A = this chain, B = another copy of it.
Amino acid sequence: MATESSDAPEPYPEFLDHVRRVSYLNDAGSVLGWDQQVTMPEGGTPARSKQSAALSSVTHDLLTDEHVGEWLADLDGDDLSPDQRAVVREVRREHERATSVPEELVSEISETASNALPVWEQAKADDDFEAFAPTLEEMVELKREYAAAIDPDRDPYAVLFEEYEPYLGLDTAERVLERLRDELVPLIEEIEASDVDLADPFTGEYDPDTQEELVRAALDELGYDWDRGRLDTAPHPFSSGTQFDARVTTRFDPEDPLGALGSTIHEFGHATYTLGLPDDQYGTPLGESRDLSVHESQSRLWENHVGRSRAFAD
């Protein structure tokens, strides 16, 4: 690959090694997060929060290391291949953002978020928002601090938005969503006012084992690579991992079998995107998703255009 080529400018290989290490540690943090949501016994929270915070800290330290700034300055010329240029561009963006944020804040956000998980799970199980409200408030406050560290003069939401969508621009996203709203709301009202027959929702109870058989069969049918994946349950379905290990989760509500099916296919879409990233770029920005909108469009494509199609149901 071009990113590995021996004719790269002098500091490039060392720079790339460093970049990969940051990425490997990020992925280790994601394994800790998966474990916390899927398998960890509840009592493990205090230790896990410390482990996650420490990992966030060292990752932040490595990303903001002064050598990275020096390498980026040295790699500013035009003697880079297109692949190398892309790697440098992505790392520069992350490095610049990260250097604005104090390490203590990164560590505190990580620890607070980890401690928040069981509080949220309990509040959700009890349908008791008030029990979670103070924790949520604390997280919002920390995220405001984080946004202010990066750019105190801009709307915090716009700053945080770039974490997920570095290039789309909040105004573009708003324009797209407004147009969708303008078209969809009347369409839905029209359908509701018409006398067309809508499908009846399922009624009755479907036990989780049967539902699990159904969603596993659906994943088989869709071609999920079990050698690089797993299906588990979590209070809120998510997928995480790398091109070597992209796991999906779902949840089973006895009264809503389509909920499990839909969320599984949705997460399968995410996992399929992740599994499609190039193996040999693992650890570099070329082996990662760059933004969330493409990721999410893939999950929606599978969920809505495949999962809800008559052909798939047949």
Interface residues of A (CB under 8 A from B): 20-21, 24-25, 27-29, 31-32, 35, 39-48, 50-55, 57-58, 62, 225-230, 241-245, 247, 279, 282-283
Knowing A32-B28, A35-B31, A55-B28, the reply to whether A244 touches B43 (Cβ < 8 A) is yes
Contact across chains for A242 and B62 when beta carbons are under 8 A apart: no
Interface of A is mostly: helix
Contact across chains for B230 and A45 when beta carbons are under 8 A apart: no
Contact across chains for A42 and B227 when beta carbons are under 8 A apart: yes
Q: Which of B41, B57, B247 contacts A230 (CB under 8 A)? A: B41
Q: How many copies altogether?
A: 2
For A229, the closest partner residue in chain B by CB is B41
Contact across chains for B58 and A244 when beta carbons are under 8 A apart: no
* Bound: A294/B224 CA distance, A: 46
B residues in contact with A41, CB < 8 Å = 226-230, 245, 247
Q: Which of B43, B52, B228 contacts A245 (CB under 8 A)? A: B43
Contact across chains for A282 and B47 when beta carbons are under 8 A apart: yes
Q: Shortest Cβ distance from A10 into chain B, in angstroms?
A: 20
Knowing A31-B32, A58-B58, the reply to whether A43 touches B225 (Cβ < 8 A) is yes
* Bound: A61/B54 CA distance, A: 14
